[in-house]
Amino acid sequence: MKLSAQSSDTLVFFCNGQKISEKHPDPSWSLAQYIRSKLQLTGCKIGCGVGGCGACTVMVSAMGQSTRNISHIAVNACLYPLCAIHGKAVTTIEGIGSTKTKLHAVQERLAQTHGSQCGFCSPGMVMSMYTLLRNNPKPSTDEVLSAMEGNLCRCTGYRPILDAFKTFTEQAGCCNGSTGGKCCQNGDAEMSDELYDVTKFTEYDPTQDVIFPPELLTNNSTFLQSTQFTKDQLTWINAGNIEDFLSLKSNNPKAVIIAGNTAAPGASHNLEGVVIYTGQVSQLNSIELTETGLKVGASVTMSMLQNAIKLHCKTLSSDQASSLHIIQQALQQYASCQIRNVATIGGHLVAPKSDYDLVPLIMAVGAKAFIVDTDGNVRESTLNGSSYSSDDRLVQSNEILQYIEIPFTSVNEHVEFYKMSHKRYYLDNAVVTAAFCMTFEPESDVVRDGCLVFGGIRKLPVFADATMKKLIGRTWNTELLESTCASLKEDLQSDIDASGKDQDYCSNLVVGSFFKFFFKVLKSLEEKQVTSSTPLPATPEFGSIPSKVPCGSALFQPAPKDQPNIDSIGRPIVHRSALQQTSGEAVYVDDLPPVQGELYLAFVLPSRGRARVLSTNLAAAQEVDGYVTYVNADDITGINRSTLDDDEILVTKEVYSTGAIIGAIVATTPEAAHKAAKLVHVSYEDLPVITTIEEAIEQEAFHQPTESLQKGDVEKGFDQSSVVLEGTIRTAAQEHYYMEPTACIAKPSGEAGEIEMITCFQEINSVQCTVAKALGVDANKVNVKTKRAGGSFGGKSNQCNYMAVCALAAQKTGKAVRMVLPRGTDIQITGHREGSMAKYKVGFDDKTGKINSLDITVYINWGSPSGIHFAIFGQVLFSLQGVYAMDNIHTTVKNCATNIPATKPMRTFGIVQSVFIIESIITDIALRCGLPVLQVREVNMHKEDIPTTYYGVPIEGFDVFRRCWKECLDKSDYHNRRNQVNNFNSKNKWTKRGIAIAPLKFNVGNYPTFMHQAGAMVNLYLDGSVLIHHGGVEVGQGIHTKMIQIASRVLGIPVDKIHVAENSTYVIPHATDTAGSHSTDMWGMAVKNACDTLVDRLAPFKSDKPDGNFADWVSAAYFSRVNLSVIGYYQTPDITWDWATKTGRPYPYSTFGAACSEVQIDCLTGSHELMRTDIVMDVGKSLNPALDIGQIEGAFMMGYGYFMLEELLWDKDGTLITNGPYNYKIPCVRDIPAEFNITLLRNCPNVRGVYSSKGIGEPTLCLANTVHFAVQDAIQSARADAGISEVFALEAPATPDRIRKACGELNFTKL
């Protein structure tokens, strides 16, 4: 190996103003690894490890090589190579503010606007906004949205985050442009919208920000020299200039070239040999405006190009800048801000992939590449399909790409770019991209030349040359359009067939994109008055997805005016950990510093869904430096069964899904553990695999038992119905996608077999039981602790075999062992929301839509093992009736035993499918009868004051539902907007709008009777402070905050005097799973009971000294030997259910709500925009409106993901396909409704809830079905235009391909 660079053993950079000199840095490390491991700055979180979530966002600052301007960019530290930071400055969350010193305005405002729930994403959010402010102290609201695109949040629904950051913008406008600050337009005297007080925010002072290190300014040239760092088998070279780069390339022709390190996330962690970094080569980072175009260096980043186009276009004519404007728009759709800040034009072009958006566009505009070989020879190549070699490379091993030149557009030239994505408009991979460039004869509509380029079909863009040849010399008219559409299908059919993608969908996207282009060009030609054909009566309008700045309202009933200020119940107080979370000080499991000798664990997982394990070969794994041992079933000293005895903890002979664990590698570093685990060779004997519900039905593969409920005689009901309709309703599996990956640390105590488990689990009782069983010790030797979880949503509950394996590793080695699941592994083994298929038969009156009889069988794709499959029976069956009266109904649930990892309860476990099923049936009835859906919903609703469910439970408070329904109709202005939608659709063929309103009855706390119990311990201290222990886990929902509020009211002391301790099975045993939206009800009552007892004990001392304070009374009680530590206990009353007799009351109460959503769809592509959502929700008397509204919005957006975006997919052998943010998309900030209005129903106390409140963590997820139904409504208009009237099924999620297909066949001849 020949090298040619100045060798160095010291990496120098600045972090938070402090100089860091690292000798012998590991070139394989990312910046995030170093920051967290070496600097112990754990505010930089690792959420996905591949640059997809933004949790690891930090600011990198550097001085420009030519301008000497200081640039600040937000980057994903998990992707940013450590050695690329040489000579630069990095700022982390810890460097901008602290609760111990002074918070930065961004940190403070994010907390005060309730924008931090679980808090795991908060540091990344803060750093993205902080970086934006460093570049522009008064950004626009659209710049804020752009900066936030790459930061995912699963908790909040994004609205409060935007509220916080919009307060910094120059266009804040009314009430600072925020939803939650007091609004001047709220005219309802009984309601408040003041979730926070903007007048109390600390003013942002840019002069207080960390300065760029002077040493980097004065010694900049030193750091720009070529340097190399070597460790083990990897050498990293920072090329200083193009001459050095060419020399290095000559000496190391097989070297890997890296600039942004975004092409293969995590690739630098697996490199060997030589890596050459080009990020500081000035000649590759320049942008120059020439007489003919824009000259762009190969290492210019997407963000640099965006900014340069914005700057240079000011000096160009609109015609000249046309192509540059299109490129700028295309760049905005490309990835996230953090990725655009490092991804380069050269990386995009040199080794393109099929989903690289810009390549077709750069080719279509006729850009030229200038390529230099190691001898200094330059060759020029016009970028097109022939520019690439047979192995799809633009440059050879002895060449580099120096720059490209993008030509200006001529006056007769028209350029356009279209991107059609898999799931959503922003932040998604393309199914098809289309780039068109058409040149006309001067002052004519006759085509002279052009280019039709399509990406996403093959690895390299596809040129429709045959079609283009047919266009030359032709007039731009409708005859040309029709023939071109037909020609494109024929021209590209073979390429589409070979792509492996949906052929019809891709073909429609190809033709549809040209269809749009045709009319855009036609409109331009007409404006220039150069068209020779007869003008069309009306040029079709096509919907676009605008860059929306969300707005809305959040209304709640304020606390009574006479309520004492010290009483925080009903007030929107801030989450008690919010400031620690937004400052990066909140500690999550993997933030804990390692103890001496701590080891790390990585799993060996099956590569197929079902197989017999024949052998395991560890030879290669044992050669990895740092390997310690291997843990398998032979190491289990206790019982190799999970808590429910349904599954092995570690595989002995056979795997039933890829969620099983064959074994685990234990090593001295996490990198060594994961590397070794990948090298373990497992031999299998494949067995038959079942992955789908249809396969399970065919083979009668069901977990036993099944369950059903019935009322009346359904067959008789069908006979009495004028119409009987049958249908199928499908929903996909959904990943929990909490931001903090599953993690735990197992610490053996060294005596009596005791072990401490530090986890982020929401059900620590299961961890204690499973670990004790596996280790062969009593449960009293296992202490499980949880401080907080960075999100959970059910994903960190129940089955916890992986925790037991970590404990086994600790027992075997006698040392602490840390387990942090990589995101792909986490998705693979921790369970998910169950996919479902419902088959229904419904009889009804065809004049009114009134249901006479209904039979539903719901099939659940449960997976393996069986787990708690029985728990879903009640969740589904008790919710299938909705708010509707039915005399004859029969429902059945069957759980399919498939070879995918077993389902794990997820927010609205089983209920969201049931609500969707019944509302879909109502929608189908309306369509079949030709009636408005609203009319059919209302005709079927319960009419009694206290109706009864079909399983015999009275629905208390149904009048509250009727109020929700009426208020939602009124606040959403449904009837007026229904007419507006109809009017819009009558005038538009290719863009349609839809609106839908739907009701909700949600059964809170619907789980087995034994789980309806809770314990808490409250301790009083002599200084008047209070410590609460309870069994509810803080997962972001604010349960600790509400416990403090409850205790504060009972004890009559300020909330600041109360603290909630971390959960521990040694303190509160048998803690029920924090789930079912019932946790505050149960633990709140337990805390209240304990506090009531303490108040009684203090009463005599308060009576003796009425003018004393709380501390005085506590001290007096202590010296009188009164016990000041009380256990509170609560069991939900009147709860029972007997499946044998089908009688009882399975849940304490129901909560009610309604939502209305409006959408716009593009019939050509299937993309959609969520224009507005209004929600009216019954929460009883809210304990904390800010927390409750946050839960409502967060749940709704998770439901939006479920109904519109998210879908877990497995291949035929049971292997997970969608295993990370690259191919599994959760909602981002651009997905929230353009207008989002929330109203908490006033005056609706709940007699069964603590302080009249109701659980609210889950219900509104179900109401996101209104988006799906609104899309269905829009589709129906498109189908009506096409003459299609029959009932149609729209699977959830309603992805663009499904929407496009449901609209019917495209007919481009009827304009």
Residue 1128: its pLDDT value, please? 98
What's the distance, CA 49 to chain centroid? 14
345 in Cβ contact with 403 (< 8 Å): no
263 pLDDT more than 80: no
| Average pLDDT value for residue range 1225-1231 | 96
| Average pLDDT value for residue range 483-488 | 95
Sheet holding 835-844, edge to edge: 702-711, 889-896, 851-861, 835-844, 723-731
| Average pLDDT value for residue range 1048-1065 | 98
Q: How many CA atoms lie within 13 A of 802 on its CB side?
A: 31
- 230 SS3 class: strand
Helix locations, 856-957, DSSP H: 872-877, 911-929, 933-940
Nearest to 1160 by CA among 985, 935, 1289: 985
- 492 SS3 class: helix
Nearest to 1081 by CA among 1234, 1254, 1225, 912: 1254
DSSP state of 622: H
- Give the integer Cα–Cα distance in Å for 1179 and 1200: 21
DSSP state of 1140: T
3-class DSSP string for 389-445 = CCCCCCCCCCEEEEEEEEECCCCCEEEEEEEEECCCCCCCCEEEEEEEEEEECCCCC
Partners of residue 20 on adjacent β-strands: 13
| Average pLDDT value for residue range 1102-1122 | 97
Indicate the pTM of the whole model: 0.97
| Average pLDDT value for residue range 460-489 | 95
- Give the integer Cα–Cα distance in Å for 418 and 434: 5
DSSP state of 814: S
Residue 6 pLDDT grade (very low, low, confident, very high; cuts 50, 70, 90) = low
1190 pLDDT more than 90: yes
- Helices 911-929, 933-940: crossing angle, 10 deg rounding: 120
Partners of residue 731 on adjacent β-strands: 836, 1292
- Helices 1185-1204, 159-166: crossing angle, 10 deg rounding: 120
Tokens of 336: 């996230």
3 pLDDT more than 90: no
| Average pLDDT value for residue range 124-146 | 96
Q: By percentage, how much of the chain surpasses pLDDT 70?
A: 96
Nearest to 338 by CA among 112, 26, 44: 44
Residue 546: its pLDDT value, please? 52
892 pLDDT more than 70: yes
Residue 268: its pLDDT value, please? 44
Catalytic amino acids? 1258
Residue 265: its pLDDT value, please? 44
Tens of pLDDT along 92-112? 999 999 999 999 999 999 999
Task: Report the Cα–Cα distance between both ends of the chain, in Å, rounded.
Answer: 65
933 in Cβ contact with 926 (< 8 Å): yes
| Average pLDDT value for residue range 485-507 | 89
Tens of pLDDT along 795-851? 999 889 999 999 999 999 999 999 999 999 999 999 999 999 999 999 999 999 999
| Average pLDDT value for residue range 1121-1134 | 97
- 335 SS3 class: coil
Which is more confident, 513 or 263?
A: 513
Amino acid at 1016: A
Torsions phi, psi of 295, nearest 5?
-95, 120
Tens of pLDDT along 934-958? 999 999 999 999 999 999 999 999 9
- Helices 159-166, 105-112: crossing angle, 10 deg rounding: 140
- 872 SS3 class: helix
Residues 497, 502, 504, 508, CA torsion sign: negative
| Average pLDDT value for residue range 696-719 | 97
Residues 264, 267, 271, 276, CA torsion sign: positive
Asked, as a colleague might, if the bond just before 1293 is cis with ω within 30 of 0, I would say yes
Amino acid at 845: D
955 in Cβ contact with 1001 (< 8 Å): yes
1279 in Cβ contact with 1289 (< 8 Å): no
Residue 175: its pLDDT value, please? 52
Q: By percentage, how much of the chain surpasses pLDDT 90?
A: 87
- Give the integer Cα–Cα distance in Å for 606 and 592: 30
Measured CA to CA in angstroms, residue 899 lies from 604, 655, 691, 802, 1211 at distances of: 18, 9, 5, 19, 11
1174 in Cβ contact with 1209 (< 8 Å): no
130 in Cβ contact with 96 (< 8 Å): yes
- Give the integer Cα–Cα distance in Å for 417 and 357: 9
Residue 266: its pLDDT value, please? 44
Residue 424 pLDDT grade (very low, low, confident, very high; cuts 50, 70, 90) = confident
Sequential DSSP letters for 630-693: EE-GGG-SS----TTSSS-SS-SSEESSTTS--EEEEESSHHHHHHHHHH-EEEEEE-----SH
1249 pLDDT more than 60: yes
Lowest mean pLDDT among 57-66, 428-437, 440-449, 920-929: 57-66
Lowest mean pLDDT among 216-230, 476-490, 578-592, 1193-1207: 216-230
Q: 384, exposed or middle or buried, with CB in 10 Å at 0-12, 13-18, 19+? A: middle
Partners of residue 11 on adjacent β-strands: 22
- Give the integer Cα–Cα distance in Å for 210 and 521: 50
Residue 185 pLDDT grade (very low, low, confident, very high; cuts 50, 70, 90) = low
176 pLDDT more than 50: no
898 in Cβ contact with 860 (< 8 Å): no
Residue 1 pLDDT grade (very low, low, confident, very high; cuts 50, 70, 90) = very low
3-class DSSP string for 1028-1081 = EEECCCCCCCCHHHHHHHHHHHHHCCCHHHEEECCEECCCCCCCCCCCCCCHHH
522 pLDDT more than 70: yes
Nearest to 963 by CA among 556, 1242, 731, 1224: 1242
1220 pLDDT more than 70: yes
In this structure, the number of other CB atoms found within 10 A of the CB of residue 751 comes to 7
Lowest mean pLDDT among 524-528, 543-547, 715-719: 543-547
Can you count the helices (H) and strands (E) in the chain? 36, 46
Residue 179: its pLDDT value, please? 54
Residue 459 pLDDT grade (very low, low, confident, very high; cuts 50, 70, 90) = confident
- Give the integer Cα–Cα distance in Å for 500 and 498: 6
893 pLDDT more than 90: yes
Tens of pLDDT along 353-387? 777 889 999 999 999 999 999 999 999 999 988 88
Tokens of 880: 């299938």
948 in Cβ contact with 912 (< 8 Å): no
- Give the integer Cα–Cα distance in Å for 268 and 262: 10
Sequential DSSP letters for 761-798: -S-HHHHHHHHHHHHT--GGGEEEEES--S--TTTTSS
Tens of pLDDT along 844-884? 999 999 999 999 999 999 999 888 888 999 999 999 999 99
177 pLDDT more than 60: no
Q: How many CA atoms lie within 13 A of 862 on its CB side?
A: 25
Residue 178: its pLDDT value, please? 52
| Average pLDDT value for residue range 493-505 | 86
1311 pLDDT more than 90: no
1259 pLDDT more than 60: yes
Within 8 A by CB and 6+ apart from 1058, the residues are 1025, 1026, 1027, 1028, 1044, 1047, 1048, 1051
431 pLDDT more than 50: yes
- Give the integer Cα–Cα distance in Å for 870 and 902: 13
- 516 SS3 class: helix
Torsion of CA 734, 740, 743, 745, to 10 degrees: -160
1143 pLDDT more than 80: yes
Partners of residue 427 on adjacent β-strands: none
- Give the integer Cα–Cα distance in Å for 414 and 434: 14
Which H helix or E strand runs over 217?
Answer: helix 214-218
Residue 646 pLDDT grade (very low, low, confident, very high; cuts 50, 70, 90) = confident
Summary mean pLDDT of the chain: 94
Residue 1307: its pLDDT value, please? 75
936 in Cβ contact with 1154 (< 8 Å): no
813 in Cβ contact with 599 (< 8 Å): yes
